[in-house]
Amino acid sequence: MSRSTLKILARGVAAGAVATFALAALPAQAANVFRFAFQGDLKSLDPYSLKESFTEGMQQAAYESLVTLDKNLKFAPGLAESWETPEPTRWRFHLRKNVKFHDGTPFTADDVLFSAQRVRASGSNFTTNVPSDAEFVKVDDYTVDMVLKKPNPIALAQFPTWLIMSKAWSEKNGAAQPTPANATSPSYATLHENGTGPFVIAEHQPGVKTVFKKFDGYWGKAESNLDEAVLTTIANPATRVAALLSGEVDWIDPVPLQDQQRVNASGTAIVMAGPELRTIFLGMDQDRDELKDSSVKGKNPFKDIKVREAFYLAIDEETIAKRVMRGQAVPSALMIAPALYDRASEIKRPATDLKKAKELMAQAGYPDGFTLTMDCPNDRYVNDEAICQAVVSMLARINVKVNLNAQPKAKYFAKVLAPNYDTSFYLLGWTPSSLDSHNILFEIVGCRKPGDKSGRGSWNLAGYCDPKIDEIADKVEGETDKTKRDALIKEGFETLNADWGYIPLHQQALAWGVSKKVHLTQRADNLLLLYWVSKDPQ
Amino acid sequence: MSETILSVRDLTVAFDTRRGPLTAIDRVSFDIGRGEILGVVGESGAGKSVTGSAVIGLIDRPGRIAGGAIHLRGERIDNLSPEAMRRVRGKRIGMIFQDPLTSLDPLFRVGDQIVETLRAHTKLSAKAARTRAIDLLAEVGIPAPERRIDGYPHEFSGGMRQRVVIALALAAEPELIIADEPTTALDVSVQAQIITLLKRLCREHGTAVMLVTHDMGVIAEAADRVAVMYAGRVAEIGPVAAVVREPHHPYAVGLMGAIPTLSQEADRLSQIPGSMPRLTAIPKGCAFNPRCPKVFARCRIERPEPILVGASRVACHLYDVTEKAA
Amino acid sequence: MLAFLLRRVIQAAAVLAVVGLIAFSMFRFAGDPVNQIVGPDTPASERAEIRKSLGLDDPVLVQFARYAGDVVRGRLGISYQFRQPVSQLLAERMPATLELAFCATVFALVVGVLMGVFCALRRDSWLAGLFQAVSLIGISLPTFLIGILLIYLFSVTLGWLPSYGRGDTVRLGWWTTGFLTWSGLKALILPSITLGLFQMTLIMRLVRAEMLEVLRTDYIRFARARGLSTRAVHLRHALKNTLVPVITIAGLQLGSVIAFSIITETVFQWPGMGLLFVQAVQNVDIPIMSAYLLLVALIFVTINLVVDILYTVVDPRLRLSSPRTA
Amino acid sequence: MSGRDIDVGDAPPVPLQVASPGRLARWRDSDLLASFLGSKTAMAALLATVLMVGLAVAAPLISPQNPYDPAQLDLINSNLPPIWQADGQAPFYLGTDDQGRDVLSAVLYGLRLSLIVGVLGVITSGVLGIALGLVAGYAGGALDTLIMRVADVQLTFPAILIALVVDGVARASFGGALDVGPLIGLIVISIGLSFWVQYARTVRSSVMVEKGKDYVQAARLIGLTPPVILVRHVLPNVTGPVFVIATINLALAIITEATLSFLGTGLPETMPSLGTLIRTGNRFLFSGEWWIVAFPGLALAGLVIAINLLGDWLRDALNPKLQ
């Protein structure tokens, strides 16, 4: 009965649809559409508003940088055709001519100068991408000099994620300043895009879908054969997998660990697990004098190195990697992925030692443990909440009672990030955008000081501080000899580890689910870059 | 008596319950002639309405006609197919219910309800049916029928509604009308009008009427003959004059006392102690025996069959001369 | 009737005012709005400045008046999450929710009424028993569980229907519709069933109970006694009378379909207002929450008014006399 | 049942009862027991309900594991299938979830939580609704109008929406993570605020009827105060309907809690209710670990169906119209 009713229903609806067809001309169907689904959303179109891999990758389809990375993460010319260092503190960029923004205006040196200023303005999430001491000088319309105070071998390291915006467009639309993280008024650049990239963002419904269309006035020759790409948000992992398997979408990220087998067995799609550069770690608040939301009053147990060590030793990362991550994670001794640091293998992760952890707790004066709250995102990293739950039950064995506060990433970040740093114990994942250890030593481990505009310690939510590491970091920044540099980095990480400053957990395996009809390049930094995506025509 | 319109013979109606069938109507027989009004009286639960329902074929589950035969103008109708029976209803047998307030569908104009009935049974066009409906309304005494035909039931008074109901019952010129307590729900002042109307219409159209009521006053005024029912059986049946003035069955005797007269101010049925038995507990022999002032041994054993006493037929052992003699 | 509608309009306005007050209180008092704008390090002087600029120091009544004025002009604040005007977000999401609610409503009404009528008319058939069982399950299983089951069956196992989203939509002005593409229509099926099932169950039970009641009424018996065909009796008279009370209750229920879509939209990742609302609750995005509340109240009140008007159209008794208090 | 105007088996006029029968007699007269014993579904539903309530109450005693104690969870035991499958292990009879939580224990504790929240929610809404109904019906006038208008507005919103709003507002006001105790309180209050209207309406209309009766007037004359009159004379008359509403609302309350938890605004994964378990288990729908979602889903469906069946039967049994 219900089926026949459905039929009637469908017939009625179809009749209505046919009637409406006559009135509404259907838009021309794009020939080659790539549909893809991500667990989260493209948070903002403003390229300086949020340092988050997925958002960055998407923005790079529409915006471009002076210097870009090729498929092997090597520097390649972007909007700058070439560059040189006439003197150690001067970098000269020769800009590409005949490049047009999506609104048709030409790209010139003024846009670079404007972007250099905007990316370092307050409210930008990318202040560290351009050295804070760099001064940009316009030589002519297509030549720009960057003048530094002192030599910096890795000055360009984060240039690939510094995207160039149009000066005229930004100023015309009142978007000359980056959107501050807690703005209450919408900024034009958050919802509109005007880059030089191969794709135009034709439609952006926050939280629903974003439509990319091929930019016909693109200066280069795109590798992609796509006419259109449609991004939808599918938060539910099971739904996301179902959408891939049924062919509703061509690409999903991430494929839940438990579903990878099924995707590979489907015959229509495969799992592409890339070498993941993101390190998942736990931070312990060592800044406050009294831990927030804890049973311990008047003091902060994390200031005691024994407690930090006890936490480290109590957490059985091997089991987390094997069970929660289903073997798709590599336990890490470092805050950086081994792929990004050549001497990583020399540092070993201390083995789990519950007995010693208990002793340490007793010695620190907490034989009966204590209570604290842990902050955890539940839609950001692979199995983030499950990892946190596992940590909670492992810490229960040294009598530490952890109240888990797992929240959507928007709420989580608003709570734990600057300026609030409102957390005692948290889980975070980090990929150094420079793909270099300095970024870790500087942004995650560096001492954070109020009013410091350099960006040091800007992601050091734990408030860990060792001036010695800061010194090492500064030396690393200026050191051009790789051997010496690697030795310095090792010293930095060993100092951190000896202090049990952070608890690195693992490098997560982030897997894409990709339809067999799609051909793309999965670079080690795991960004989905639309200009390398092609799809077999129907 | 003139031509027999309705003939009911040994009609038995049973209700199937979990504890077995209950006999609600037990071997009831009567006839109604052309233009004749047969009054059917009895207490509530005596089976009057069920008899009416059985004749028009509206016994609902779990009830069923368990025996006997009903003939309408010699044609047997109790075993017709549902569809054939439907065509008899309204067309050949009309029915009037007790409560005019609830008999009409509140959501339809009275005219539409009449037209609908007409068109179900005749080949009249919509327009002709409407003209006929106005005539009918006029005939049952509704003022300004051409205007009122488009009114909704709630816009009519109780008496007016009963007139509409009568018009509906008469719409297809049936040979028989079953009027089930047609005046009970009406004001006393209106009751007489309705009875007069009913009487007049039957005389004019020659329609036979089965007038079910518990009101002896109505019977006395309207009926030609009367059947007194008790516990699903006919106790006595005969011309009104005979039964009212000279009832024979002890129950009828008690019942007639219920007609308020100047000389008698007794309460209804107060002369008969006790109450009618439940269907589950109908006594053996004569159903009235526990209450009967003149009960004797035979009444408790053997069910009395109707016997002709004067102009009436009476189901009572008192009048069984053969037995008495023996 | 005019007075009745006027009273309803006034009541509706009162309801909206009360909901507006609640929405305003949420907006104003649930969490310090200033805290949502600045960080904890912000000095008190700066906070005071912001308070003043937002008008938070004015008397509450003034603030409410300003809020009401803003709401009327469609200024519902700016989402904390998306940093976009809430009105714009809701406008973007509204077509998705309304189309889903529409399909669910049609499904619930058509299937619910059909099944209800069937269960009332064929009370003892096995199919009626099956429908009854389905209704029990429909009323007992939480919506999200039904959604998951349907996805598992039709998307995962059989692969017939999409498991998420609206499919391809076509933009008609500011409205996006899924009715014009095949994938859009396919995408509507599972969510509509999921959303409509509960209402369908309620309507089915309601129709069944009401119809059984109606079938027992005098006017239905009278309609049968008039010899109308079973079809006319059931589908003209009984159904119409059944639907009168059903309209009110179904109307009330269907108003809540929009709000119930919260769950369905979450299960099917349907990009409508409900999903937006759930995300707002999870992210404590008060402006969206309060605006959604207002919008649902507005929709609900409008539906109620429409139902009231419909009611008077269907039930002639209401057109003149005073309304029944249901 | 036959048509009402076929006067078969109409009872003879019964003399008006002088004294109201005792409660026990009323129970017997209403044929409640007989109807109950006669209804196989009602019996089965009661049996199922009692069984599940029993399991819930005994959960701490019979569960192999306390699923809320993180110290008892061991990742080593994660994702085990039910015992009858190849990799199943005792004592995890129904398998384990991704944290090594025993599904059987989690279902038992989840049933317990669902019932606790449901019963507390029903009590809250019942007390609130009955009190407001009594006041509205007895006081009349402006107070009555106010209460009933509020009820009308309240009816505008489905319970789940109200619960979500209350939840969201509470989160905004308190910020951060709530402990489980206050969280349960919050959900109970959300449910209480969502379901009081039906009680209030029923009680109010009953009070309106009773208020005018002689015995209430008489009670007032002999100096009984309104509260005493209300509680002693009016309340007993509404126990039947209130009980029916409560039963049906219990099912609704349990669904509401599960839905809140499913939407992620109810109980956290570390203290899962049935709804939370289903939300988590939903992730494993594709990977073959069906037991994580199936058993909680079955338990929830079973509980609600049983309670609904009981409620249906009660309503029919107490409704004289249908007898």
Q: Give per-residue pLDDT as tens, D99-118.
A: 888 889 999 999 998 899 99
Does D283 lie at the interface with A, CB-CB under 8 angstroms? Answer: yes
Q: Nearest CA to CA, how far is C316 from chain D (Å)? A: 26
Chain D hits for B60, CB-CB cut-off 8 Å, are 2-3, 6
Residue with tokens 């410091």: A452
Question: In what helix (H) or strand (E) does residue D203 lie, and over which residues does it extend?
Answer: helix D180-211
The closest CB to that of D8, out of B50, B180, B276, belongs to B50
The closest CB to that of B49, out of D7, D11, D13, belongs to D7
Question: Which pLDDT tens digit goes with each residue over A387-417?
Answer: 999 999 999 999 999 988 888 777 788 788 7
**A278-510 and A33-250+517-535 share a CATH fold:** no
User: DSSP of D47-83, one letter per residue?
Assistant: HHHHHHHHHHHTHHHH-SS-TT-GGG--GGGTTPPPT
Q: Nearest CA to CA, how far is D168 from chain C (Å)? A: 5
Question: Which pLDDT tens digit goes with each residue over A166-220?
Answer: 999 999 988 888 755 444 566 788 889 999 999 999 988 887 889 999 999 999 8
> Cα C218 vs. chain centroid, distance in angstroms?
36
What's the complex ipTM?
Answer: 0.74
C-alpha span between B224 and B316 (Å, rounded): 23
In the CATH scheme, what is the homologous superfamily, with its name and number, of domain A278-510? Dipeptide-binding Protein; Domain 3 (3.10.105.10)
Q: Decide if B41 contacts B59 (C-beta within 8 A).
A: no
Q: Which domains does chain D have, with CATH numbers?
A: 37-322 (1.10.3720.10)
**Residue C180 and residue A24: Cβ atoms within 8 Å?**
yes
**Residue A408 and residue C279: Cβ atoms within 8 Å?**
yes
Residue of C139, C146, C264, C279 to mutate, interface with D, max D Cβ within 10 Å = C139
Domain map (residue ranges) of chain C: 1-86, 94-314
Interface of A with D in 356-395 (CB under 8 A): 373, 383, 385-386, 389-390, 392-393, 395
Domain map (residue ranges) of chain B: 4-92+172-325, 100-171
Chain D hits for A397, CB-CB cut-off 8 Å, are 71
Q: Decide if B317 contacts B299 (C-beta within 8 A).
A: yes
* Structure token digits, residue A345: 């293998």
Question: Which pLDDT tens digit goes with each residue over B174-200?
Answer: 888 888 888 777 777 788 888 888 888
Q: Give the closest residue to C96 by CA, choosing from A35, A209, D155.
A: A209
**In one letter, which amino acid is D161?**
L
Strands (E), chain C: 170-172, 175-177
Does A252 lie at the interface with D, CB-CB under 8 angstroms? Answer: no
B91-B95-B101-B104 Cα dihedral, nearest 10 degrees? -20
Q: Across chain A, what does the average pLDDT equal?
A: 86
- What pLDDT is attached to residue D23? 43
Does D71 lie at the interface with B, CB-CB under 8 angstroms? Answer: no
Residue with tokens 């009809």: A517
CATH architecture of the domain B4-92+172-325 equals: 3-Layer(aba) Sandwich (3.40)
Strands (E), A234-273: 251-253, 269-273
Residue of A389, A394, A395, A411 to mutate, interface with D, max D Cβ within 10 Å = A389
Q: Decide if A147 contacts A90 (C-beta within 8 A).
A: yes
* Three-class SS state of B69: strand
Chain C hits for A42, CB-CB cut-off 8 Å, are none
Residue of B72, B86, B104, B105 to mutate, interface with C, max C Cβ within 10 Å = B105
The closest CB to that of B105, out of C225, C241, C320, belongs to C241
Q: Decide if C185 contacts A14 (C-beta within 8 A).
A: yes
**In one letter, which amino acid is B130?**
R
Does D9 lie at the interface with B, CB-CB under 8 angstroms? Answer: yes
User: DSSP of A452-473, one letter per residue?
Assistant: --S-TTTT-TT----HHHHHHH
- Burial environment of residue B270 by CB neighbours within 10 A (0 to 12, 13 to 18, 19 or more): exposed
Strands (E), C52-205: 170-172, 175-177
User: DSSP of B172-198, one letter per residue?
Assistant: T--SEEEEESTTTTS-HHHHHHHHHHH
Question: Which pLDDT tens digit goes with each residue over A314-350?
Answer: 999 999 998 888 888 889 999 999 888 989 899 999 9
**Residue B50 and residue D7: Cβ atoms within 8 Å?**
yes
Q: Give the closest residue to B288 by CA, choosing from B254, B313, B245, B244.
A: B254
**Residue C263 and residue D297: Cβ atoms within 8 Å?**
no
Could you state, in chain order, the average pLDDT of each consecutive group of 10 residues for chain B (326 residues)? 82 82 86 89 83 85 84 86 84 83 83 85 86 86 86 84 84 86 78 84 86 83 88 88 85 72 44 73 84 84 86 85 53
**Higher per-residue pLDDT: A429 or D262:** A429
Q: Give the closest residue to C122 by CA, choosing from C223, C215, C218.
A: C215
* Three-class SS state of C279: helix
**Residue C163 and residue A24: Cβ atoms within 8 Å?**
no
User: DSSP of B104-143, one letter per residue?
Assistant: S-TTS-HHHHHHHHHHHHS---HHHHHHHHHHHHHHTT-S
Count the neighbouring beta carbons within 10 Å of the beta carbon of residue D26: 13
* Structure token digits, residue A292: 């927030």
pLDDT surpassing 80 at residue A228: yes
Count the neighbouring beta carbons within 10 Å of the beta carbon of residue A454: 14
Confidence of residue D17 (pLDDT cuts 50, 70, 90): very low
**Residue B276 and residue D11: Cβ atoms within 8 Å?**
no
Q: Nearest CA to CA, how far is A151 from chain D (Å)? A: 45
Does C182 lie at the interface with A, CB-CB under 8 angstroms? Answer: no
> Cα D21 vs. chain centroid, distance in angstroms?
30
C-alpha span between A373 and A393 (Å, rounded): 13
Q: Nearest CA to CA, how far is C323 from chain A (Å)? A: 34
Do D and C make contact via 3 or more CB pairs under 8 A? The reply is yes
- What pLDDT is attached to residue A525? 78
Residues B268, B269, B275: CA angle, nearest 5 degrees: 130
- What pLDDT is attached to residue D24? 42
Q: Decide if D7 contacts B45 (C-beta within 8 A).
A: yes
**Residue A234 and residue C127: Cβ atoms within 8 Å?**
no
- What pLDDT is attached to residue A229? 94
Do C and A make contact via 3 or more CB pairs under 8 A? The reply is yes
- Report, as an integer, the average pLDDT of A364-370: 92
Residue of D1, D2, D4, D8 to mutate, interface with B, max B Cβ within 10 Å = D8
**Residue B60 and residue D13: Cβ atoms within 8 Å?**
no
Which chains, if any, share at least 3 CB pairs under 8 A with chain A?
Answer: C, D
The closest CB to that of C136, out of D5, D160, D305, belongs to D305
Interface of B with C in 220-249 (CB under 8 A): none
Nearest CA in chain C to A187: C83
The stretches in chain C having pLDDT less than 50 are 39-41, 321-326
Q: What distances in angstroms separate CA B117 from CA B114, B129, B170, D98, one per listed residue? A: 5, 9, 10, 71
CATH architecture of the domain A33-250+517-535 equals: 3-Layer(aba) Sandwich (3.40)
Size of chain C, expressed as the number of residues it contains: 326
Q: Which of A151-155, A364-368, B214-218, C25-29 has the lowest mean pLDDT?
A: C25-29
Q: Nearest CA to CA, how far is B15 from chain D (Å)? A: 9
C-alpha span between C202 and A14 (Å, rounded): 27
* Three-class SS state of D260: helix
Residue A140 contacts by C-beta under 8 Å, 6 or more apart in sequence?
A: A109
Domain map (residue ranges) of chain A: 33-250+517-535, 278-510
Nearest CA in chain C to A24: C172
**Residue A2 and residue C111: Cβ atoms within 8 Å?**
yes
pLDDT surpassing 90 at residue A14: no
* Structure token digits, residue B6: 């309705």
| Percent of chain D residues topping a pLDDT of 90 | 6
Nearest CA in chain D to A321: D75
* Structure token digits, residue B284: 């053996």
Does B171 lie at the interface with C, CB-CB under 8 angstroms? Answer: yes
Q: Which long-range contacts (CB under 8 A, 24 or more apart) does D141-148 make?
A: D144/D204, D147/D200, D147/D204, D148/D200, D148/D201, D148/D204
**Residue A20 and residue C180: Cβ atoms within 8 Å?**
yes
Identify the top-confidence range among A124-128, C228-232, D155-159, D188-192: D188-192
C-alpha span between A39 and A248 (Å, rounded): 15
**Higher per-residue pLDDT: D30 or A342:** A342
Q: Decide if A392 contacts A361 (C-beta within 8 A).
A: no
Q: Nearest CA to CA, how far is C204 from chain B (Å)? A: 22
Chain D hits for B276, CB-CB cut-off 8 Å, are 12
Count the neighbouring beta carbons within 10 Å of the beta carbon of residue C91: 14
Q: Give the strand pairing for A135-140 and A143-147.
A: antiparallel
Q: Give the closest residue to A445 by CA, choosing from A471, A419, A483, A412.
A: A471
**Residue C241 and residue B94: Cβ atoms within 8 Å?**
no
**Residue C18 and residue D149: Cβ atoms within 8 Å?**
yes
C-alpha span between C89 and C273 (Å, rounded): 8
Assign a CATH topology to domain C94-314.
MetI-like fold (1.10.3720)
**Residue B89 and residue C217: Cβ atoms within 8 Å?**
no
Nearest CA in chain B to D15: B275
C-alpha span between D109 and D111 (Å, rounded): 5
The closest CB to that of A5, out of C81, C111, C185, belongs to C111
C-alpha span between A454 and D320 (Å, rounded): 81
Size of chain A, expressed as the number of residues it contains: 538
Question: In what helix (H) or strand (E) does residue B87 lie, and over which residues does it extend?
Answer: helix B82-88
Chain B hits for D2, CB-CB cut-off 8 Å, are 15, 60-63
* Structure token digits, residue D155: 């009816």
Q: Give the closest residue to C137 by CA, choosing from D309, D50, A5, D195.
A: D309
**In one letter, which amino acid is B43?**
E
Chain C hits for A422, CB-CB cut-off 8 Å, are 40
Do D and A make contact via 3 or more CB pairs under 8 A? The reply is yes
Do A and B make contact via 3 or more CB pairs under 8 A? The reply is no
